Every structure is written in structure tokens, then in C-alpha cells.
């Protein structure tokens, strides 16, 4: 019942593209090349490390253990995968931007990432990872120097709407 990195990344790319086009009228133009690049590469390290659960990272930090170890593994994987590519530093900068969520493009891709993860967990596993959703909503609502916060707040609200509407749908795993 697991999702492949490739299948998940494709869905994040598709959702990000369609959403960027839909939201341009309200939030101004998005850098579509950045959105697509970020969505395509957002989980590149997982092609080497596998999915390092964000809940595990938070639990390690809460218990005084260093989540930096897991992040260092991901950074090593990214460096090894992009090391020979011309302009690899700009790719790594873009992925840091995604992790920090400081731009509207990063927020859009993060929302797409959360939406696909939620859909997979709900439909295939019959679960809703509430702590993950709450953490993601807080990430979206934070605004950086490149955002005024409106987009993140709207996307955070949409997570609540998606969860509420899909709550009435019987997960496939439970049928």
C-alpha cells in the first residue's frame, strides 16, 4: 500500500501546476519554472534514503535527539545526486527554499505535497495523520520575506476543507 517516490512526485507536479494556474488571478503570477522544478525535485533525496517520516523527525527533536542526523542523511543524498550537475547549488538552494516555505511557490508545492500525502493515507491506508496535517498547516501559515501570508493562510484553510469533505468518503482500505 505504499506510494512510490515517482508516483507521489508526479502528483505533486500535476497538482502544483494546476493550482498555480488557478490561483494566479488571486495571488499574482507564479514562477511556473520554479514551481515545476521544486515539485519535481522536492523528494529527490528519498530516491536514496527512502521516506524519512516527518513525524519521526519531530519525535526525535522532542526527545532531545538530533533530527539533524536525518536531515544530514538527506543532504548527503542530495549532494551525491546533484554533485556532478552544473548549477547544482541553485538546485540545492531551491530545495532549501521549499523546506523553509519562504516563497509562494514553496507554499504551493508544500500544499500539493500535503494534499497527495493525505489522499494516499486516507484512500490506501484508511488513516488521517492529524499531527502531520497540523504541522503542515502551521508551516504554510508562516510567512517569509517573499510572502504576505495570505496564500499560506488560504492553503491551510483548504487542508481543513479537504479533510472535512473526505471524512465522509469510505477509504478503500476499509471497504
Phi-psi region of 169 (alpha: psi -120 to 50; beta: other; left: phi over 0): beta
Distance CA 99, CA 51 (A): 15
- Reply yes or no on whether the pLDDT at 174 is more than 60: no
pLDDT at position 175, please?
47
Cell of 36: 515545476
* pLDDT tens sequence across 63-103: 666 656 666 667 676 667 666 666 677 877 888 888 888 89
Whether residue 101 contacts residue 107, with contact meaning beta carbons closer than 8 Å, is answered with: yes
Report pTM: 0.77
Amino acid at each position: 500500500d505504499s506510494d512510490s517516490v515517482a508516483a507521489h512526485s508526479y502528483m505533486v507536479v500535476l497538482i502544483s501546476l494546476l493550482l498555480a494556474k488557478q490561483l494566479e488571478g488571486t495571488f499574482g503570477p507564479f514562477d511556473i519554472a520554479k514551481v515545476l522544478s521544486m515539485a519535481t525535485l522536492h523528494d529527490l533525496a528519498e530516491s536514496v534514503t527512502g521516506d524519512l517520516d516527518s513525524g519521526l523527525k519531530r519525535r526525535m527533536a522532542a526527545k532531545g535527539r538530533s533530527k539533524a542526523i536525518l536531515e544530514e542523511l538527506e543532504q548527503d543524498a542530495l549532494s551525491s545526486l546533484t554533485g556532478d550537475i552544473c548549477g547544482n547549488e541553485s538546485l540545492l538552494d531551491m530545495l532549501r527554499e521549499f523546506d523553509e516555505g519562504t516563497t509562494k511557490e514553496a507554499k504551493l508545492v508544500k500544499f500539493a505535497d500535503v494534499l497527495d500525502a493525505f489522499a494516499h493515507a486516507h484512500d490506501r491506508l484508511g488513516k488521517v495523520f492529524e499531527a502531520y496535517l497540523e504541522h503542515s498547516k502551521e508551516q504554510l501559515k508562516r510567512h517569509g520575506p517573499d510572502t504576505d501570508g495570505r496564500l499560506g493562510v488560504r492553503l491551510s484553510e483548504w487542508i481543513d476543507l479537504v479533510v472535512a469533505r473526505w471524512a465522509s468518503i469510505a477509504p478503500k482500505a476499509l471497504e
